[in-house]
Amino acid sequence: MTTTSPEVRAAHSEDELAGALALRRAVFVEEQGVPLDEELDDRDAEAVHLVALDGGAVVGTCRLLEAGDALKLGRMAVAPTARRRGIAARLLEEAEVQALARGVRVIRLSSQVGARAVYERAGYTAYGERFVEAGIDHVMMEKTLA
């Protein structure tokens, strides 16, 4: 990994998308024990995949899906070696840019309870009851963009 700040943007190539999917598999399936059939779904084909690139390697990713009047942000993953460098915050900032470019003013997500503070620092608010998804406690969160 380089010490410069990673580039954060929508994936531009099949290689970048493959890197994003590989990172998700490493984080969710291998690290957190999420079943592979719950991690991968047919929505990846319609999603915008954001990537954080460090020296050409995908070190962070999330995906954006249209969800009525909002964008649904999901599958946020940052490589263990790249954590605590502000990459998740940068992905959230780019998600807002992408939403506003589409005329969308609300982003919703389901946050793992342990990651809730990352989203709160970015201005997201939790709502509803906790629920279990893929064996992990989650809470719904949203942010209305200015």
H or E element in which residue 121 lies = helix 116-121
What is the per-residue pLDDT for 15?
96
Residue 65: inside a domain, yes or no? yes
Residue 62 is part of which domain span?
Answer: 7-144
Report the 10 Å Cβ neighbour count for 97.
Answer: 14
102 pLDDT more than 60: yes
| Residue 134: CATH number of its domain | 3.40.630.30
Q: Beta strands 106-112 and 70-78: pairing type? A: parallel
| Mean pLDDT value across the chain | 94
What is the per-residue pLDDT for 93?
97
- Give the C-alpha distances (Å, rounded to integers) separating 71 from 14, 33, 50, 106, 145: 23, 27, 13, 6, 11
Residue 2: inside a domain, yes or no? no
Residue 32: inside a domain, yes or no? yes
106 pLDDT more than 80: yes
Residue 48: inside a domain, yes or no? yes
What is the per-residue pLDDT for 146?
85
What is the per-residue pLDDT for 40?
85
Q: Using CB atoms within 10 Å of the CB of residue 110, give its burial: 0 to 12 exposed, 13 to 18 middle, 19+ buried.
A: middle
2 pLDDT more than 80: no
- Check: CB of residue 106 under 8 Å from CB of residue 98: no
Average pLDDT over residues 89-101: 96
1 pLDDT more than 80: no
Average pLDDT over residues 109-131: 96
124 pLDDT more than 80: yes
11 pLDDT more than 70: yes
Q: Which residue has the higher pLDDT, 139 or 42?
A: 139
Into how many domains does the chain fold? 1
> How many helical (H) and strand (E) elements, i.e. helices and strands, does the chain have?
4, 7
pLDDT band at 3 (very low <50, low <70, confident <90, very high): low
